[in-house]
Structure 1
Amino acid sequence: MRIHPGREAEFEQTWLRIGDAVTSHPANLGQWLIRSEDEPSTYFITSDWVDEAQFREFETSERHLEHRKALHPLRASGSMATGSVLTHLAGAASLPVPAAG
Protein backbone atom coordinates (compact mmCIF):
# COMPACT_ATOMS: atom_id res chain seq x y z
CA MET A 1 0.00 0.00 0.00
CA ARG A 2 1.36 3.41 -0.93
CA ILE A 3 0.38 6.25 1.37
CA HIS A 4 0.16 9.89 0.35
CA PRO A 5 3.57 11.39 1.22
CA GLY A 6 3.51 13.26 4.51
CA ARG A 7 0.62 11.18 5.88
CA GLU A 8 2.65 8.16 7.01
CA ALA A 9 2.34 8.85 10.76
CA GLU A 10 -1.42 9.41 10.40
CA PHE A 11 -1.72 6.13 8.48
CA GLU A 12 0.23 4.19 11.11
CA GLN A 13 -1.87 5.64 13.94
CA THR A 14 -5.13 4.96 12.08
CA TRP A 15 -4.07 1.40 11.22
CA LEU A 16 -3.36 0.69 14.90
CA ARG A 17 -6.56 2.37 16.08
CA ILE A 18 -8.84 0.37 13.77
CA GLY A 19 -6.86 -2.88 13.68
CA ASP A 20 -9.25 -4.71 15.97
CA ALA A 21 -11.83 -4.63 13.16
CA VAL A 22 -9.63 -7.31 11.59
CA THR A 23 -7.99 -9.03 14.54
CA SER A 24 -11.23 -9.45 16.51
CA HIS A 25 -12.68 -11.58 13.70
CA PRO A 26 -12.82 -15.18 15.00
CA ALA A 27 -10.90 -16.51 11.97
CA ASN A 28 -8.04 -13.99 12.11
CA LEU A 29 -4.73 -15.29 13.48
CA GLY A 30 -2.92 -11.94 13.45
CA GLN A 31 -1.71 -8.98 11.41
CA TRP A 32 1.62 -7.27 10.78
CA LEU A 33 2.31 -3.77 9.44
CA ILE A 34 5.68 -3.43 7.70
CA ARG A 35 7.12 -0.17 6.38
CA SER A 36 9.48 -0.35 3.42
CA GLU A 37 13.06 0.69 4.18
CA ASP A 38 13.52 1.80 0.56
CA GLU A 39 10.25 3.72 0.09
CA PRO A 40 8.99 5.28 3.34
CA SER A 41 5.47 5.83 1.94
CA THR A 42 5.11 2.12 1.08
CA TYR A 43 3.70 -0.40 3.55
CA PHE A 44 3.07 -4.13 3.47
CA ILE A 45 0.31 -5.66 5.54
CA THR A 46 0.37 -9.35 6.29
CA SER A 47 -2.82 -10.83 7.66
CA ASP A 48 -3.07 -14.48 8.67
CA TRP A 49 -6.37 -16.36 8.57
CA VAL A 50 -7.63 -19.80 9.54
CA ASP A 51 -8.69 -20.38 5.93
CA GLU A 52 -9.34 -18.48 2.72
CA ALA A 53 -13.11 -18.96 2.82
CA GLN A 54 -13.43 -17.07 6.12
CA PHE A 55 -11.05 -14.37 4.90
CA ARG A 56 -13.21 -13.89 1.77
CA GLU A 57 -16.31 -13.69 3.97
CA PHE A 58 -14.62 -10.97 6.02
CA GLU A 59 -13.69 -9.05 2.85
CA THR A 60 -17.35 -8.50 2.00
CA SER A 61 -18.46 -7.72 5.55
CA GLU A 62 -19.61 -4.37 6.91
CA ARG A 63 -16.72 -4.55 9.37
CA HIS A 64 -14.20 -4.61 6.49
CA LEU A 65 -15.97 -1.83 4.60
CA GLU A 66 -15.73 0.45 7.66
CA HIS A 67 -12.05 -0.44 8.03
CA ARG A 68 -11.39 0.43 4.38
CA LYS A 69 -13.27 3.74 4.68
CA ALA A 70 -10.92 4.86 7.45
CA LEU A 71 -7.77 3.99 5.48
CA HIS A 72 -8.88 4.97 1.98
CA PRO A 73 -8.22 8.75 2.25
CA LEU A 74 -4.63 8.01 3.27
CA ARG A 75 -3.89 5.62 0.39
CA ALA A 76 -2.32 6.71 -2.86
CA SER A 77 -2.55 3.16 -4.30
CA GLY A 78 -2.58 -0.45 -3.24
CA SER A 79 -2.70 -4.05 -4.35
CA MET A 80 -3.33 -7.40 -2.73
CA ALA A 81 -1.91 -10.87 -3.18
CA THR A 82 -2.90 -14.01 -1.33
CA GLY A 83 -0.90 -17.15 -0.68
CA SER A 84 -0.56 -20.20 1.51
CA VAL A 85 2.32 -21.03 3.81
CA LEU A 86 3.93 -24.21 2.53
CA THR A 87 6.73 -24.54 5.06
CA HIS A 88 7.93 -22.65 8.11
CA LEU A 89 11.53 -22.95 9.25
CA ALA A 90 12.14 -21.52 12.72
CA GLY A 91 15.25 -19.36 13.06
CA ALA A 92 17.83 -19.85 15.79
CA ALA A 93 16.61 -16.75 17.68
CA SER A 94 13.10 -18.21 17.96
CA LEU A 95 14.16 -21.53 19.48
CA PRO A 96 13.72 -21.96 23.25
CA VAL A 97 16.84 -21.54 25.35
CA PRO A 98 17.62 -24.66 27.44
CA ALA A 99 17.28 -24.13 31.19
CA ALA A 100 20.54 -23.84 33.09
CA GLY A 101 21.29 -26.40 35.61
Structure 2
Amino acid sequence: MKQILIILTLLNALYADYKELLFNGNCITCHRTDELNKSAPTIIEIRKRYIEVFPKKEEFVKHLSQWVYRPNEEKSIMQKAIQEYKLMPELGYDIDTLEQIAEFIYEKEFM
Protein backbone atom coordinates (compact mmCIF):
# COMPACT_ATOMS: atom_id res chain seq x y z
CA MET A 1 0.00 0.00 0.00
CA LYS A 2 2.82 2.40 0.87
CA GLN A 3 4.46 1.79 -2.51
CA ILE A 4 1.22 2.57 -4.34
CA LEU A 5 0.90 5.88 -2.51
CA ILE A 6 4.48 6.78 -3.37
CA ILE A 7 3.91 5.95 -7.04
CA LEU A 8 0.67 7.95 -7.15
CA THR A 9 2.39 10.92 -5.51
CA LEU A 10 5.22 10.78 -8.05
CA LEU A 11 2.81 10.50 -10.98
CA ASN A 12 0.84 13.48 -9.70
CA ALA A 13 4.02 15.54 -9.38
CA LEU A 14 5.13 14.58 -12.90
CA TYR A 15 1.72 15.52 -14.31
CA ALA A 16 1.85 18.91 -12.56
CA ASP A 17 5.34 19.48 -13.94
CA TYR A 18 4.10 18.53 -17.41
CA LYS A 19 1.35 21.18 -17.29
CA GLU A 20 3.91 23.78 -16.23
CA LEU A 21 6.20 22.68 -19.05
CA LEU A 22 3.33 23.08 -21.54
CA PHE A 23 2.64 26.59 -20.23
CA ASN A 24 6.28 27.66 -20.25
CA GLY A 25 6.86 26.19 -23.69
CA ASN A 26 3.82 27.70 -25.33
CA CYS A 27 2.47 30.76 -23.50
CA ILE A 28 5.10 32.62 -21.52
CA THR A 29 6.76 34.21 -24.54
CA CYS A 30 3.75 36.47 -25.09
CA HIS A 31 1.96 36.27 -21.73
CA ARG A 32 4.85 37.10 -19.43
CA THR A 33 4.64 37.70 -15.69
CA ASP A 34 6.27 41.12 -15.93
CA GLU A 35 5.69 44.29 -17.92
CA LEU A 36 8.86 44.08 -20.01
CA ASN A 37 8.61 43.77 -23.79
CA LYS A 38 4.88 43.33 -23.47
CA SER A 39 3.10 42.06 -26.58
CA ALA A 40 0.00 40.66 -24.88
CA PRO A 41 -1.69 40.84 -21.47
CA THR A 42 0.40 39.30 -18.70
CA ILE A 43 -0.68 35.91 -17.45
CA ILE A 44 -1.37 37.60 -14.12
CA GLU A 45 -3.92 39.90 -15.78
CA ILE A 46 -5.52 37.00 -17.64
CA ARG A 47 -5.74 34.76 -14.58
CA LYS A 48 -7.20 37.54 -12.45
CA ARG A 49 -9.91 38.38 -15.00
CA TYR A 50 -10.86 34.76 -15.66
CA ILE A 51 -11.09 33.97 -11.94
CA GLU A 52 -13.35 37.03 -11.48
CA VAL A 53 -15.73 35.74 -14.14
CA PHE A 54 -15.22 31.97 -13.66
CA PRO A 55 -14.25 31.31 -10.02
CA LYS A 56 -14.87 27.55 -10.27
CA LYS A 57 -11.98 25.60 -11.76
CA GLU A 58 -14.14 23.60 -14.16
CA GLU A 59 -15.70 26.73 -15.69
CA PHE A 60 -12.37 28.56 -15.78
CA VAL A 61 -10.66 25.70 -17.62
CA LYS A 62 -13.55 25.22 -20.04
CA HIS A 63 -13.89 28.85 -21.03
CA LEU A 64 -10.21 29.73 -21.21
CA SER A 65 -9.28 26.65 -23.23
CA GLN A 66 -12.24 27.08 -25.60
CA TRP A 67 -11.40 30.74 -26.17
CA VAL A 68 -7.72 30.04 -26.89
CA TYR A 69 -8.75 27.17 -29.17
CA ARG A 70 -10.87 29.56 -31.26
CA PRO A 71 -10.20 33.20 -30.31
CA ASN A 72 -13.29 35.28 -30.90
CA GLU A 73 -13.56 38.99 -30.21
CA GLU A 74 -17.30 38.86 -29.49
CA LYS A 75 -16.87 36.13 -26.86
CA SER A 76 -13.86 37.70 -25.16
CA ILE A 77 -14.08 38.74 -21.54
CA MET A 78 -11.03 40.97 -22.05
CA GLN A 79 -12.19 43.54 -24.61
CA LYS A 80 -9.67 46.18 -23.48
CA ALA A 81 -6.82 43.72 -24.08
CA ILE A 82 -8.04 43.12 -27.63
CA GLN A 83 -8.18 46.87 -28.24
CA GLU A 84 -4.64 47.26 -26.92
CA TYR A 85 -2.96 44.17 -28.40
CA LYS A 86 -5.36 42.93 -31.12
CA LEU A 87 -7.06 39.53 -31.17
CA MET A 88 -4.89 36.56 -30.24
CA PRO A 89 -4.16 34.43 -33.32
CA GLU A 90 -5.44 30.90 -33.62
CA LEU A 91 -2.50 28.72 -32.61
CA GLY A 92 -3.60 25.24 -33.67
CA TYR A 93 -3.24 23.51 -30.29
CA ASP A 94 -5.55 20.62 -29.48
CA ILE A 95 -8.20 21.19 -26.82
CA ASP A 96 -6.71 18.63 -24.39
CA THR A 97 -3.40 20.49 -24.31
CA LEU A 98 -5.18 23.80 -23.81
CA GLU A 99 -7.21 22.35 -20.93
CA GLN A 100 -4.01 21.20 -19.21
CA ILE A 101 -2.49 24.65 -19.65
CA ALA A 102 -5.68 26.28 -18.33
CA GLU A 103 -5.60 24.00 -15.27
CA PHE A 104 -2.03 25.08 -14.59
CA ILE A 105 -2.97 28.76 -14.91
CA TYR A 106 -5.91 28.31 -12.54
CA GLU A 107 -3.80 26.52 -9.93
CA LYS A 108 -0.66 28.67 -10.15
CA GLU A 109 -0.18 31.81 -8.08
CA PHE A 110 1.91 33.92 -10.46
CA MET A 111 3.95 36.74 -8.95
Same-fold call, TM cutoff 0.5: no
Higher relative contact order (CA 8 A, sep 6+): 1
TM-score (norm 1): 0.31
Q: Which has the higher helix share?
A: 2
